[in-house]
């Protein structure tokens, strides 16, 4: 028996071609495309504006491989973490972070099973990278968490961050395709301005984002303001020094004009001194930056601890006084291991 192809791996011209070869009319491709990417269809039977024969043809030759919600955990602060099972049995996690007062409902999506980078403060980095997610598996997380958001908060998602498991710029094509499906009018129709891709810092690929003139925002997981410290906690820095990274971000800003955010997890006694703040200030001066200082969440077997509140308040105040747009982010979803860097801790 012929093996069925995953229909969501076809691009639009390929889908059109398949239908023409089957003797169908071209416009059917658009209908099917909308079922898959706009309405989140999980089976061909749902595609009720197609003829029964066409649905049978599709079922015979193609399949849809949706992700399945396997475990949902609710935090006391409203955060919801979902563990999804993929068609091949692997697991990934997504987190819904609601801020109802600001009408801000953000999903943090994963882009790989595991991660090949080994950032010291991150639970995902303790797993090996198993595989990249398909564009459909990334979009599914948005579709499923959007349903949760409507159900729990009566509000659709407003923001998407690629900040879950995996390094987005190491699965560039799939991430770009997923964003295309999320933003296109034939897809979910969300604004790219509501999307932020977060990277551990791969300069070559940041230049590629600049060349590709992407419309979404970029966040750099900075976490240390000099190379010695950054090498210690993020081995990727050894091939992507801060100088090289800042040059790439400058190119990104010049080419796209899109917002750049620095994420900075405050680690007690490691990167929270006033000397660190002064070095960080220099990095924030090269192009407009939004700085998020994040409370650290301990993961099993690691030596770091969370910075003391007065220390971190002083650190943030120093930068704010110098004109940096700083936000101090208390962690969300800690009780369910959904906070930054905690995904896959217990999976
Ligand atoms: S922080 Fe991101 S890039 Fe680093 S190990 Fe964790 S998932 Fe991978």
* Structure confidence at residue 125 (pLDDT): 78
Average pLDDT over residues 79-105: 95
Given a cut of 50, whether residue 345 has pLDDT beyond it is: no
Note whether 5-63 and 68-336 share their fold.
no
How many Å lie between the centroid of ligand 1 and the Cα of residue 235?
11
Confidence category of residue 340, pLDDT binned at 50, 70, 90: low
Best residue for ligand 1 mutational test, from 120, 166, 200 (most atoms within 8 Å of Cβ):
200
- pLDDT tens, 14-30? 999 999 999 999 999 99
**What's the rounded Cα separation, in Å, for the pair 31 and 25?**
11
Band (341; pLDDT cuts 50, 70, 90) = low
> What's the pLDDT tens digit per position in 215-259?
999 999 999 999 999 999 999 999 999 999 999 999 999 999 998
- Identify the band that residue 344 occupies on the pLDDT scale cut at 50, 70 and 90: low
Ligand 1 contact via 164 beta carbon (within 6 Å): no
**Mean pLDDT computed over 103-119:** 95
Tell me the CA–centroid distance for residue 203 and ligand 1, in Å. 16
Q: What is the pLDDT of residues 273-296, one digit of tens each?
A: 999 999 999 999 999 999 999 999
> Considering the chain, what is the average pLDDT of its residues?
93
Q: Which two tokens stand for residue 183?
A: 């933003």
Q: How far apart are CA 216 and CA 197, in angstroms?
A: 7
Write down the catalytic residue from 24, 93, 137, 295: 93
pLDDT value of residue 347: 44
Stretch 8-15: mean pLDDT = 94
Q: What percent of the chain has pLDDT over 70?
A: 97
Q: What CATH number has the domain spanning 5-63?
A: 1.10.150.530
Choose which CATH entry (3.20.20.70, 3.40.190.10, 3.40.50.460, 3.40.50.720) describes domain 68-336: 3.20.20.70
Which pLDDT score, from 0 to 100, does residue 346 have? 47
* Ligand 1 close to Cβ of residue 119 (< 6 A): yes
What are the sequence ranges of the domains in the chain? 5-63, 68-336
Average pLDDT over residues 79-83: 96
Active site residue 93: yes
CB count within 10 Å of CB 290 equals 16
Q: How far is the CA of 162 from the centre of ligand 1 (A)?
A: 11
Listed ranges 113-127, 170-184, 302-316; the one with the highest mean pLDDT: 170-184
Residue 21 bears catalytic tag: no
Confidence grade of residue 329 (pLDDT, cut at 50, 70, 90): confident
Residues 6+ apart with CB under 8 A from 174: 111, 132, 133, 134, 135, 138
């Amino acid at each position: 028996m012929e093996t069925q192809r995953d229909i969501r791996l076809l691009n639009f011209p390929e889908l059109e071609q398949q239908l023409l070869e089957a003797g169908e009319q071209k416009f059917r491709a658009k209908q099917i495309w909308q079922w898959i990417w706009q309405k989140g269809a999980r089976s061909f039977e749902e595609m009720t504006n197609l003829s029964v024969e066409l649905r049978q043809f599709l079922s015979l030759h193609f399949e849809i491989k949706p992700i399945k919600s396997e475990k949902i955990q609710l935090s006391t602060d409203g955060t919801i973490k979902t563990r999804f099972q993929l068609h091949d049995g692997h697991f990934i996690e997504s987190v819904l972070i609601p801020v109802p007062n600001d009408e801000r409902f953000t999903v943090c999506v994963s882009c790989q099973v595991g991660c090949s980078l080994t950032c010291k403060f991150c639970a995902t980095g303790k797993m090996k990278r198993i595989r990249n997610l398909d564009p459909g598996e990334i979009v599914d997380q948005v579709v499923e968490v959007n349903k949760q958001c409507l159900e729990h908060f009566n509000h659709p998602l407003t923001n998407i961050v690629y900040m879950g498991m995996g390094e987005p710029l190491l699965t560039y094509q799939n991430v770009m395709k997923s964003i295309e499906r999320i933003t296109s009018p034939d897809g979910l129709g969300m604004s790219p301005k509501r999307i932020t891709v977060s990277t551990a810092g791969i300069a070559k690929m940041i230049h590629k984002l600049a060349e590709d003139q992407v419309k979404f925002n970029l966040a750099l997981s900075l976490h240390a303001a000099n190379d010695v410290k950054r090498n210690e906690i993020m081995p990727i820095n050894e091939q992507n020094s801060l100088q090289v990274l800042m040059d790439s971000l400058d190119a990104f800003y010049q080419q796209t004009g899109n917002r750049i955010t620095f994420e900075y997890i405050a680690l007690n006694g490691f990167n929270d001194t006033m000397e660190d703040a002064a070095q960080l200030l220099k990095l924030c001066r090269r192009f407009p930056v939004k700085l998020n200082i994040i409370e650290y969440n301990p993961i099993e077997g690691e030596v770091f601890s969370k910075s003391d509140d007065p220390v971190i308040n002083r650190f943030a105040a120093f930068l704010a006084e110098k004109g940096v747009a700083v936000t101090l982010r208390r962690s969300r979803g800690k009780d369910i291991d959904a906070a930054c860097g905690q995904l896959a801790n217990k999976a």
